[in-house]
Amino acid sequence: MTAAAYHALRKSADRDPVSFWARQARELDWQAPFHATLQWKYPHARWFADGYLNASVNCVDRHVDSPRKHKAAIVWEGETFETRTITYAQLHDQVCRFANVLRNLGVKKGNVVGIYMGMVPEAAIAMLACARIGATHNVVFGGFSADALADRMSDSGAVVLVTQDVAYRRGKDVELKVTADKAAKRIPTLKHMVVFKRGTASVKMKAKRDLWWHDVMATASPQAKAAKLPAEHPLFILYTSGSTGKPKGILHTTGGYLTHVSYTTKLVFDMQDTDLFFCTADVGWITGHSYVVYGPLSLGATVMMYEGAPNHPQPDRFWDIISRHRVTILYTAPTAIRSFMRWGDEWPSKHDLSSLRLLGSVGEPINPEAWRWYHRVIGNKRCPVVDTWWQTETGGIMISAVPLEGEGKQSKGTLTASRQVPGAATLPLPGIQAAVVTRNGKKCKAGETGLLVIKHPWPGMLRTVYGDDARYKAAYWSEFPPENVPDGWYATGDGAKIDAEGNVWIIGRVDDVVNVSGHRLGTAEIESALVSHPRVAEAAVIARPDEIKGNALVAFVTLKMGKNATNLVKLKDDLREHVGREIGHIAKPDDVRFAEALPKTRSGKIMRRLLRELVKGGSGFGDITTLEDFSVLERLRSDDEV
């Protein structure tokens, strides 16, 4: 897209957002056209409600009926280095077969099917098969415990659970079937379990309930008629953490969600027919739903799927994959980028990364230092970086730079970006009306921290919290009640600021904005300042109660070259002074603790609540089933580690 086309798109969306989204929706294949674009009754939206379509048809069938029939849809690599390539024709065969498997098991339109798998193509096949027959899928990340799995399956009323014997992670077997069996005892609606065989170890199969994937697929027909579904038909439920401790089942519907992720995949990633798109997210998270499965496949793209950890067997696994497969677009998390920085430039320098043409960031704010490293070391200063902001609840990307065809001194077709500001999410995408406001709803001045809100409905928005509409209203629509904001504003829960150029800077969850001596400080901003120090690889800042200041700041820091290589007492003072210079005296951490690693989920997010509990001296860590490495927490609790 040229700069002129992008600005025209933005003007069109600003002038009439409803008509704009109608045009994007018509890029999909509809079984029956829609006439009503948006029906908005605060706080519920219905998009394209009188139209009919099927997500599976849009992601598979329409490519089989085109020259893309024998194009690779998924290129998969296992942690043990085996590879598989699945064309669109083969994907159609597999999706239809599994759709028939589900129908043969009695799954009907509107039933919920649970999926508890690792990063294997069969997870995507199961999702698309559900979409084909009108079943609502509920994917649960393969790192969750039996209790967490049971809670999500029982809350949604799942009738079938699709899992696998084991998944591989850092050379170890993750026993998914064993966990699924434990969970099944607490899922009263469960009738069947379909098990994909990934490993070689034997597992227990319960007669009549459990079925092997390969057995049922072998006898299933490769043709399955796609259900005709209204646009507001529930496509999936995805559970996300809630402040009360009870996960929220975020409900997304078919037409609006598919419109949003298809549009944003094409716009933000400049998706071309020759691209190999590597989104490193697990399908158990929203990023995997939107930018491993539905977004890219709706465009007929080729997706790279990798099963294992980024540092197995060595810290160059991603760079090895990119080099061997000639990946063109990489979409990964800031926490992963900071880990790559810490491991050292020598790992990516061993590999030819010249196939890359675009880099993306997702999951949390990326600090400027990590952004610059990503651009310089991985992109060789020639790949635009799109730092994307969005949420499970928004369905797809909301704020991001957009790659554009080069102009001026650059040759035609060379990608630049609409804006590239290290650390900033930049501008809301065309069609998204975002603002930063005070708690009384007034627009914030440039540089003033406030609340990020979305002021107009968008197609990919969640429709409700499954089974709890009151919670939906309270969590997302109560910050600015209709008597103050008649049309309703969606409260994202994120703090942000807008600079003089109009760029949006995300400073993290409102809960991560702390009051120190009467000053409101975003912990993400302090973390960014710490990471800008040449010795620091990663940092997490949390608050602990303080009798004098209200809150004191504690920084957990990992070093690039290992903590034994320097005087830690002096470095603590240096880091505090560095933050003082970067932000101000008030932002200096009261305590700096060094660690070899920080507690993270398998998706790469730092579990700051565990650090908060740690500094309080408590042991009530709650649910830690998503913690990737349990030994990290134990090491942090020992005196020699902090």
Query: What distance in Å separates the CA atoms of residue 258 and residue 637, rounded to the nearest whole number?
Result: 45
Query: CA-CA distances (angstroms) from residue 474 to 395, 469, 512?
Result: 19, 9, 20
Q: What is the pLDDT of residue 500?
A: 92
Same domain membership, residue 278 and residue 404? yes
Amino acid at position 431, single letter: G
Angle between helices 121-133 and 88-104 (to 10 degrees): 60
pTM of the predicted model as reported, rounded to 2 decimal places:
0.85
Strand partners, 403: 417
Asked, for residue 487, whether it belongs to a domain, the answer is no
Query: What distance in Å separates the CA atoms of residue 145 and residue 179, rounded to the nearest whole number?
Result: 7
Query: What distance in Å separates the CA atoms of residue 588 and residue 296, rounded to the nearest whole number?
Result: 44
The DSSP bridge pattern shows strands 434-437 and 450-454 to be antiparallel
Amino acid at position 161, single letter: L
Asked, for residue 478, whether it belongs to a domain, the answer is no
Query: What distance in Å separates the CA atoms of residue 312 and residue 568, rounded to the nearest whole number?
Result: 30
Record the tokens describing residue 329, joined without a space. Answer: 């677009």
Query: What distance in Å separates the CA atoms of residue 389 and residue 386, rounded to the nearest whole number?
Result: 10
Q: Name the residue with tokens 């020598």.
A: 346
Query: What distance in Å separates the CA atoms of residue 383 and residue 486, rounded to the nearest whole number?
Result: 43
Looking at the structure of the chain, the number of domains it has is 2
Asked, for residue 494, whether it belongs to a domain, the answer is no
Last residue of a domain, one of 417, 438, 463: 417
Same domain membership, residue 18 and residue 163? yes
Phi, psi of 363 (to 5 degrees): 120, -40
Closest by Cα among 470, 474, 473, 484 to 439: 484
Asked, for residue 413, whether it belongs to a domain, the answer is yes
DSSP structural state of residue 290: I
Phi, psi of 227 (to 5 degrees): -65, 145
Query: Mean pLDDT, the chain, as a whole number?
Result: 90
Record the tokens describing residue 113, joined without a space. Answer: 């099917």
Last residue of a domain, one of 389, 417, 445: 417
Amino acid at position 246, single letter: K
Give the mean model confidence (pLDDT) for residues 611-623: 70
Residue 200: CB atoms within 10 A of its CB come to 8
Asked, for residue 453, whether it belongs to a domain, the answer is no
Asked if 637 contacts 621 with a C-beta cutoff of 8 angstroms, the reply is: no
Question: Is the predicted pLDDT of residue 642 greater than 60, yes or no?
Answer: no
What is the pLDDT confidence band of residue 57, given thresholds at 50, 70 and 90?
very high
Give the mean model confidence (pLDDT) for residues 404-416: 57
Asked, for residue 434, whether it belongs to a domain, the answer is no
Asked if 358 contacts 403 with a C-beta cutoff of 8 angstroms, the reply is: yes
Closest by Cα among 641, 544, 555 to 597: 641
The predicted-structure confidence for 562-573, as pLDDT tens digits, reads as follows 545 568 889 999
Asked if 343 contacts 350 with a C-beta cutoff of 8 angstroms, the reply is: no
Which helix (H) or strand (E) segment is 124 a member of? helix 121-133
Give the mean model confidence (pLDDT) for residues 456-472: 97
Same domain membership, residue 528 and residue 391? no
Spatial neighbors of 593 by CB under 8 A, at least 6 apart, are 554, 555, 556, 557, 642
Asked, for residue 139, whether it belongs to a domain, the answer is yes
Asked, for residue 610, whether it belongs to a domain, the answer is yes
Last residue of a domain, one of 392, 417, 442: 417
Query: What distance in Å separates the CA atoms of residue 256 and residue 462, rounded to the nearest whole number?
Result: 9
Q: What is the pLDDT of residue 621?
A: 58
The predicted-structure confidence for 324-359, as pLDDT tens digits, reads as follows 999 999 999 988 898 899 899 999 999 999 999 999
Asked if 192 contacts 112 with a C-beta cutoff of 8 angstroms, the reply is: no
What is the pLDDT confidence band of residue 153, given thresholds at 50, 70 and 90?
very high
Query: What distance in Å separates the CA atoms of residue 379 and residue 274, rounded to the nearest whole number?
Result: 19
Q: What's 275's domain CATH number?
A: 3.40.50.12780
Question: Is the predicted pLDDT of residue 549 greater than 90, yes or no?
Answer: no
Query: What distance in Å separates the CA atoms of residue 53 and residue 3, rounded to the nearest whole number?
Result: 33
**Burial call 593-624: b when 16+ CB within 10 Å, e when fewer:** bbbebbbbbbbbbbbbbbbbbbbeeeeeeeee
Spatial neighbors of 440 by CB under 8 A, at least 6 apart, are 484
Query: What distance in Å separates the CA atoms of residue 303 and residue 290, rounded to the nearest whole number?
Result: 12
Question: Is the predicted pLDDT of residue 244 greater than 60, yes or no?
Answer: no
Question: Is the predicted pLDDT of residue 271 greater than 50, yes or no?
Answer: yes
| C-alpha 186 chain-centroid distance | 28
Q: What percent of the chain has pLDDT over 70?
A: 90
What is the pLDDT confidence band of residue 515, given thresholds at 50, 70 and 90?
low
Query: What distance in Å separates the CA atoms of residue 425 and residue 532, rounded to the nearest whole number?
Result: 18
Query: What distance in Å separates the CA atoms of residue 43 and residue 181, rounded to the nearest whole number?
Result: 39
Amino acid at position 457, single letter: P
Question: Is the predicted pLDDT of residue 321 greater than 50, yes or no?
Answer: yes
Residue 172: CB atoms within 10 A of its CB come to 12
Give the mean model confidence (pLDDT) for residues 256-268: 98
Phi, psi of 388 (to 5 degrees): -100, 140
Give the mean model confidence (pLDDT) for residues 386-395: 96
Closest by Cα among 487, 36, 467, 471 to 234: 467
Q: What's 559's domain CATH number?
A: 3.30.300.30
What is the pLDDT confidence band of residue 263, given thresholds at 50, 70 and 90?
very high
Strand partners, 399: 389, 428
DSSP state letters, 7-57: HHHHHHHHH-HHHHHHHHHTTS--SB-----EEEETTEEEESTT-EE-HHI
Opening angle at CA 411, ends 409 and 417, nearest 5: 80
Q: Name the residue with tokens 């897209």.
A: 1
Cis previous bond, 486, omega within 30: no
Same domain membership, residue 529 and residue 399? no
Q: End-to-end distance of the chain based on CA atoms, in angstroms?
A: 50
Query: What distance in Å separates the CA atoms of residue 642 and residue 637, rounded to the nearest whole number?
Result: 7
What is the pLDDT confidence band of residue 529, given thresholds at 50, 70 and 90?
confident
Least confident of 47-51, 188-192, 417-421, 528-532: 417-421
Closest by Cα among 487, 398, 478, 485 to 442: 485
* Three-state SS letters, 327-382: CCEEEECHHHHHHHHHHCCHHHHCCCCCCCCEEEECCCCCCHHHHHHHHHHHCCCC
* Three-state SS letters, 69-100: HHCEEEEEECCCCCEEEEEHHHHHHHHHHHHH
Classify the C-alpha dihedral 609-610-614-617 as positive or negative: positive
Least confident of 311-315, 416-420, 555-559: 416-420
Range of the domain at 41: 3-417
Least confident of 91-105, 230-244, 261-275, 551-565: 551-565
